[in-house]
Structure 1
Amino acid sequence: MTEQHPFMPRLEHAFSISIELSRPFWVKPTSRGETRAAIYASSGVVEGPRLNGRVIPMSGGDFPLTRANGVIDFDARYLLEADDGAIIYLENRGYRWARNTEIAEAMRRNEDTAFNDYYMRVTPKFDAPAGPHEWMSKHVFVGVAEKLPGANRIHYFVVL
């Protein structure tokens, strides 16, 4: 049995965001020969033990770059509104790639795929106002995402 590293971080589920997405707008190929998209956050719900609220519709979106090797490099920014009315800025960076070309094509067609058919992880940063949500601006998070037809669901874990 392998001994656990003494500095191994603990993760705690903080909340999940289910986000409905607009249709993509494409820049292809870009001057670098890759593909860029703009996909806006049309609506969404935030639910969890540490935060509940909504995604403010059309407050931002994702501007992913698709590399020649099929890896999608996320750069998403949008606003959340907590149930108490606090506005929280979210910046997500991360990657998605499919386990094979057939799955990549199904995802490109916006079809349902099994969670273990792809890798989709994000590293968010939050800018929250002083007060009850300030903890979000003081912690590191990781997000494990699900690609759904026309939507994403991201499960955020705070690193303790």
Structure 2
Amino acid sequence: MGADRNHDDELLDPSFEHVMDLDIEVADPIEIGETGDGQRRIIEITSGTVSGRVDGEILPGGADYQLYRTERPTELVAKYAFETDDGARVYVENRGIRWAPPAVSERIRDGESVDPAAVYFRSVPEFETADPDLQWLTRSIFVATGVRQPNGVKLAVFRVA
């Protein structure tokens, strides 16, 4: 496996299909405090948009449950929903990490703008829906790249093919 694999193997290299962009607005963090493994924060997801193969609006009521750290990657677990322009609803659970040098990480924590190239921000969103036309969201693995902004997050979501 790995480096020993040759082109005659039946395994296929993955490819990535860009399927949607999410532009998510958030409220100010609720600071829980230092819990022993990092600074626990809850950040309410208030609104936003979805565009691409799916178009719609981010619904209020979700949140990003963060374990913020400066010396190690920040753990992110966001749980929220969106409604498509056709009225279908989709639940999203997105787990990921964000890492930047400590000075950059502190600026992100304080809500300041930073150069996205200085930050590693990747996640693995999972989708649930009752809509038959959107079942393709439940049948694949997705990865996302993210950019943290002072009042929100932008995600580009890719289907692993």
Q: Deviations over 1:43-95 (max 9, x none)?
A: 100011x10001001x2111111246242101110011011100100000000
Residue 54 of structure 1 corresponds to which residue in structure 2?
57
Residue 85 of structure 1 corresponds to which residue in structure 2?
87
Shift of 1:33: 4.6
Give ranges in structure 1 of 5+ residues lacking alignment: none
Q: What amino acid sits opposite 1:75 in the alignment? A: V
Tell me how many residue pairs correspond in the alignment: 155
Gap change, CA 1:44 and 1:93, over 3 Å in 2: same
Distance (whole Å) between structure 2 residues aligned to residue 146 and residue 9 of structure 1? 24
- The answer to whether the 8 A contact 2:70-2:102 is kept is no
Distance (whole Å) between structure 2 residues aligned to residue 112 and residue 34 of structure 1? 22
Give ranges in structure 2 of 5+ residues lacking alignment: none
Gap change, CA 1:68 and 1:18, over 3 Å in 2: closer
Indicate yes or no: 2:39 matched with 1:35.
yes
User: What secondary structure sits across from 2:76 in the alignment?
Assistant: strand
Indicate yes or no: 2:34 matched with 1:25.
no
Distance (whole Å) between structure 2 residues aligned to residue 90 and residue 33 of structure 1? 25
Gap change, CA 1:33 and 1:141, over 3 Å in 2: closer
Scaled by the length of structure 2, the TM-score of the pair is 0.89
Consecutive aligned runs of 4 or more in structure 1 exceeding 6 Å deviation:
2-5
- Cα RMSD of the aligned pairs, angstroms, is 1.8
**What percent identity do the matched residue pairs reach?**
31
User: What secondary structure sits across from 1:133 in the alignment?
Assistant: helix
Shift of 1:121: 0.4
